[in-house]
Amino acid sequence: MKKVLSAIITLGCVAGFVLAQGPGGTPRAGPGQTASSPNVIKVPVDLVNVLLTVTDKKNRLVLDLTKDDFKVLEDGKPQMVRYFSRETNLPLRVGILIDTSNSIRERLRFEQEAAVDFLNNTLQPGRDLAFVVGFDVEPQMVQDYTDNTEKLSDAIRKLQAGGVTSLYDAIYFSCKEKMLFFPPPEPYLRRVMIIISDGQDNQSERTREEALAMAQRAEVTIFTISTNRSGIQGRGDKVLRRLAEETGGRAFFPFDASELASNFQEISRELRSQYSLAYVSTNRAHDGTLRSISIEPLEKGLRIRAKNGYFAPSQ
């Protein structure tokens, strides 16, 4: 029995526990049982879960595909999709990270109100949770997880600009402390981070690669909204784009503050219009390595946004 228990891995969403499978591979208890009932036997299954968004050439969401419309590769090797579903209402865990450095002082109010509107329109009380982090010299948790949009709104509006930028530290801190693990028996969650910044880090102790690796370990999808209004995409914008693309999210580059609201609306719509697939990797080694994922559409003209890798469980 001890050997069986020791084989249970709880790293990100790589390991799944199944007694019976619900739609899309969601764990489901038997009649009269809950996921936390003591008489439910949990069997370790190394599932790799991937959430993906599909758009056409005009960037419109495509919502009528099946698992047979995709080819999944891990480190270049084909994988068999075991579970597949449309995910329109996954519980959300949302981190709002707002750059409060001097460089965004003039635009801070517009960004605050756009973030408040997003939370009011997206968060479902009793199901979704969000937290708020402001960062300049260092990241500061201004509101921990809650489904109370008034508390979240008050925290966002109280942020004040000043100081330098510690973007990578803010990402690392938020992923490690708030996204990496959830107490069982949490359902499969949509972990989302929305970053409002110019991407110009000049203070962090952590590197960009360390921040990105922690986001990948925590299975976080990053959406970024650039505060750069110069009309020329610089180094900071490239950083924001990479953070989004590596984690299956999307980078937005609004020309002026008035476009922020529509950016947030697009993020909200995308979060409720995704697919979920899961496979058991043909590489059964528990070596803790970063493995690449490639999901390709069989139909030409479609574009897929999904994370491009995950960390395998370790011994």
Distance of alpha carbon 2 from alpha carbon 305, whole angstroms: 40
Query: Which of 27-31, 45-49, 138-142, 172-176 shows the lowest per-residue confidence on average (mean pLDDT)?
Result: 27-31
Residues 145 and 287 in one domain: no
| Residue 87 counted as domain residue | no
CATH of the domain at 200: 3.40.50.410
Whole-prediction pTM value?
0.82
- Helix axes of 108-122 and 260-271: crossing angle, nearest 10 degrees: 30
Q: Which residue has the higher pLDDT, 267 or 102?
A: 267
**Which H helix or E strand runs over 214?**
helix 208-217
Local structure of 272: helix, strand or coil: coil
Q: Provide the pLDDT for residue 76.
A: 96
What value does the mean pLDDT of the chain take? 84
* 7, pLDDT greater than 50: no
**Which H helix or E strand runs over 306?**
strand 303-306
Residues 205 and 100 in one domain: yes
| Residue 175 counted as domain residue | yes
Q: Which of 121, 144, 117, 114 is nearest to 132 (CA)?
A: 144
Q: Provide the pLDDT for residue 19.
A: 32
Residues 261 and 119 in one domain: yes
Q: Provide the pLDDT for residue 183.
A: 58
Q: Provide the pLDDT for residue 75.
A: 97
Residues 125 and 195 in one domain: yes
* 168, pLDDT greater than 50: yes
Domain housing 127: 92-271
| Cα 202 from chain centre | 24
In which band, very low, low, confident or very high, does the pLDDT at 306 lie, cut at 50, 70 and 90? very high
Query: Which of 16-20, 245-249, 307-311 shows the lowest per-residue confidence on average (mean pLDDT)?
Result: 16-20
Mean pLDDT within 66-88: 94
Q: DSSP string of 78-144?
A: EE-EEEEEEESSPPEEEEEEEE-SGGGGGGHHHHHHHHHHHHHHH--TTT-EEEEEEESSSEEEEEE
Q: DSSP string of 66-97?
A: -GGGEEEEETTEEE-EEEEEEESSPPEEEEEE
**Domain total of the chain:** 2
